[in-house]
Chain A
């Protein structure tokens, strides 16, 4: 058992506790949290003094490519987009993931303890991404859900030099049509209307995966490439197939915050901090997550690592403060909101009894970039210490 004693605890879901205590049990879960004096610290507990420090839940990034696009290496080690076909629902990020990538160490040092990492956006249906901790002795220990979500990506696709099984759609219409066609086929396949023996093995594997998405067993992460018209298209698809889904990137979301709030669709915005250097980024506006938050949309912030390094997720939360959120509101965007989006709100995203003890200890509010992260715990284990 461990006891963090004396810090300011930002619980995220409950009130801020000054001079608080967090007890962590031997299974790496939070046993109790409260004011010092109101919580009995068992004699056998290892006491870690954190007077004057700020404690928050570990940060969660719901959209990253960490471990798939390598740090410090060249393209030979990059396994994020497979041009085998525009429909590759059956390929899995976990089969390429490198848990020894340096980016994981950096991520922990930046307070990021849980990430979704998965295939890129080159394909209409890119494959299966996973949710994992950034710290653990081996990959098995790090994995939270090896098949957490299927990546779908709107927007025109760029034809490549490699020969692909199916042609790539080159317009936004073409991409949506291809996506609908495969979801409709999967529905028929689920209903037993397609003969197994007539399917090629790839297609069968693809339809099996899409069936799990249609049964809402798996999350659909639907990527918007450039502009708000794609939000309409994604909303149509989510409603037509009753998907459990998030809209990722959601550039232009500031224009459609009403719609997203009304339809109760969660979004993973970003990454913030990119410049409008190309015409396809003309709807990029770092006020978007703030506008959507204020409309009541469940917003989280992505690094899209390596676009912004995983380590700097909290800096991206700071950008939303620059644009009008409070420090604690911004913290929700990298803790409880992504936990909800990934279906992990009963395990992660806030400091409360029963949740996993993924905790950040910082010199000040960690959404301030000037604060220093001093300790990070993952499942109650000290995963990073500045000293």
Chain B
């Protein structure tokens, strides 16, 4: 790719770096990357120039917790998010069952979302008859919304809570308590460590075990641990177990009651992908769900990103969700961060995405106003330096 695009005279550049907001700057894009951010620039006629006078430039938005591609039309094709034959399945990879032609990718671009992470597992919805969640549903992936997979296997999801227990009971499976669920994960970790030793000693006689190798990928730091839980207690329990096995990279998914254990999360430096905030307090474990919680996390210095958890809330509304947090009292800059640089950091991809700086991927969105407001419009979107949307 040798395409060059110049975004010229941009009214405001929200860099999401220490540089803050730059006014009347230009951004040069070369070979899919941001190459220059400058006040004045002279370019030849061989390059495309986009006049951005009076417009606002943001890094493309990131939703770090979706099920895009997993549930394009669930009832037609069955449940792709959860493998029912195996309730502890760390070796399953979401990319192996992900529809890259899910229309949600187009919807995402329309909303200014340029990167998503997609996870196996269930999602919250009222249209569904059943809701499945297993103890370990598998591995997540990170995908640009131009359908380019950038991290094939990113992390393993561990779940605790009502949905897991209800599913196990409905299927007449065990374990049936949180104690038993945690013990089954601990056994799995122990088996993985034993397997590593035995493979070292006698490779030929021990057949390969993908499940245990996936756990070793986690224990040896190649994968992130995603803690899927709502109540403060369930989050804490899973984190404690993972720390017992020295797992460093831990991220909380949902985290409905994360504010109850804010001190713990801050001390352990564990971030939360919080949401979806637009959901009712259905059932007991969601009784403390509240669209004000992101403000509380901010006030207690817990790192967090905001999510739609698509398809619970359609992906294109990510900026509106961030707008709701502002209405609840979150400073506007924090709300921008919660859908740009914070999810990038949480995914460990902030060297590539989530901010506007030389060398970063040219995932850029141009709005005619504040993207958190409903009456602002997306004017252009670039992913990897290629224009994917133009109004």
Residues of chain A touching chain B, judged by Cβ–Cβ distance below 8 Å, are 69, 71-74, 102-103, 273-281, 304-309, 311-312, 315, 318-319, 321-322, 326-327, 330, 367-373
**CB-contact partner of B314 in A273, A369, A372, A373, under 8 A:** A273
B373 contact set on A, CB distance < 8 A: 368, 370
A370 to B125, CA, bound (A): 25
B287/A278 in contact, CB under 8 A: no
Bound Cα distance A330, B291 (Å): 22
| Cβ contact within 8 Å between A74 and B283 | yes
Q: Is B380 positioned at the interface, with any CB of A under 8 Å from its CB?
A: no
Please, could you name 26 A-B residue pairs with CB atoms under 8 Å apart, sorted by A? A69-B282, A72-B281, A72-B287, A103-B281, A273-B314, A277-B72, A277-B73, A277-B311, A278-B127, A279-B75, A281-B127, A306-B126, A306-B280, A307-B126, A308-B278, A309-B279, A309-B280, A315-B278, A315-B320, A330-B374, A368-B373, A368-B374, A369-B323, A370-B373, A371-B327, A373-B327
Q: A46 vs B372: C-alpha distance in the bound complex, in angstroms?
A: 36
Contact pick for A279, options B76, B104, B312, B324, CB 8 Å: B76
Find chain A residues with CB under 8 A from B283 CB. 72-74
Chain A residue, CB-CB nearest to B316? A322
Please, what's the 1-or-0 string for B120-161, where 1 marks a CB less than 8 Å from any CB in chain A? 000001110000000000000000000000000000000000
Chain A residues whose CB sits within 8 angstroms of the CB of B311 once the complex forms? 275-277
- Do the beta carbons of B327 and A372 come within 8 Å of each other? yes
B194 close to A (CB within 8 Å): no
Which residues of the partner chain B approach A311 to less than 8 Å between Cβ atoms?
291
Q: Which residues of the partner chain A approach B189 to less than 8 Å between Cβ atoms?
A: none
Q: Is B268 an interface residue (CB 8 A)?
A: no
Determine how close the nearest CB of chain B comes to the CB of A278; give it in whole angstroms: 5
A306 to B126, CA, bound (A): 8
Q: Are A74 and B284 in contact, CB atoms less than 8 angstroms apart? A: yes
Contact status A369-B287, CB under 8 Å: no
Query: Chain A residue with minimal CB distance to B70?
Result: A277
B residues lining the A interface (CB < 8 Å): 71-76, 103-104, 125-127, 278-284, 286-288, 291, 310-314, 317, 320, 323-324, 326-329, 332, 370, 372-375
Which residues of chain B are near A281, meaning CB under 8 Å?
127
Chain B residues with CB under 8 A of A279: 73, 75-76
A370, B127: Cβ atoms under 8 Å? no
The 6 A-B pairs of least Cβ separation, nearest first, read: A72-B287, A275-B311, A306-B280, A321-B374, A369-B323, A318-B374
CA distance A212 to B264 in the complex (A): 60
A372 to chain B, nearest CB (A): 5
List 15 other contacts, CB 8 Å, given A318-B320, A322-B320: A71-B282, A72-B281, A72-B287, A273-B317, A279-B75, A306-B126, A308-B278, A309-B280, A319-B374, A327-B375, A367-B374, A368-B374, A369-B327, A370-B323, A372-B329
Least Cβ distance of B162 to chain A in Å?
9
- Asked whether, in the complex, the Cβ of B323 is within 8 Å of the Cβ of A275, the reply is no
Question: CA–CA, A315 to B374, complex, Å?
Answer: 9
The residue in chain B whose Cβ has the minimal distance to the Cβ of A367 is B374
Question: How many angstroms between the C-alpha atoms of A275 and B312 in the bound complex?
Answer: 7
List residues of chain A with CB within 8 A of the CB of B71: 277
- Chain B residues within an 8 Å CB radius of A275: 104, 310-314
Within the complex, what minimum Cβ distance (angstroms) separates B70 from chain A?
10
List of B residues within 8 angstroms of A102 by Cβ: 281
Residues of A near B332 (CB, < 8 A) are 370
Complex alpha-carbon distance, A273 and B313, angstroms? 6
Q: Contact: A276 with B74, CB < 8 Å?
A: no
Q: Let me know if A71 and B327 touch, CB within 8 A.
A: no
The CA-CA distance from A274 to B329 in the complex, in Å, is: 25
CB distance from A121 to the nearest CB of B (A): 12
CB of A71 within 8 A of CB of B280, answer yes
- Give complex CA distance A170, B141 in Å: 40
**A305–B280 contact, CB under 8 A?**
yes
Question: Are A319 and B327 in contact, with the CB atoms below 8 A?
Answer: no
The smallest C-beta distance from A39 to any residue of chain B, in angstroms, reads 30
Residues of the B chain whose Cβ atoms lie less than 8 Å from the Cβ of A278 = 73-76, 127
Alpha-carbon distance between A321 and B375 when the two chains are bound, in angstroms:
6
Residues of B within 8 A of A276 (CB): 73, 103, 311
Question: Of all chain A residues, which has the CB nearest B324?
Answer: A369
A371 to B372, CA, bound (A): 11
The answer to whether B326 and A277 touch across the interface, beta carbons within 8 angstroms, is no
**Which of A73, A306, A369, A372 is close to B374, meaning CB atoms less than 8 Å apart?**
A369
Which residues of chain B have C-beta atoms less than 8 A from A312's C-beta?
278, 291, 324
Taking CB as reference atom, which chain A residue is nearest B372?
A370
Give the CA-CA distance A321 to B369 in the complex, in Å. 14
A187 to chain B, nearest CB (A): 35
B318 → chain A closest CB, angstroms: 12
Residue of B at shortest CB range from A286? B314
| Choice from B72, B76, B312, B327 contacting A370 with Cβ under 8 Å | B327
B374 touches A72 (CB 8 A): no
- Interface-central residue, A274, A306, A370, A372, by most chain B CB under 10 Å: A370
Q: Which of A305, A315, A367 contacts B324 (CB 8 A)?
A: A315
Chain A residues with CB below 8 A from B104, complex form:
275
Closest to A102 in B: B281
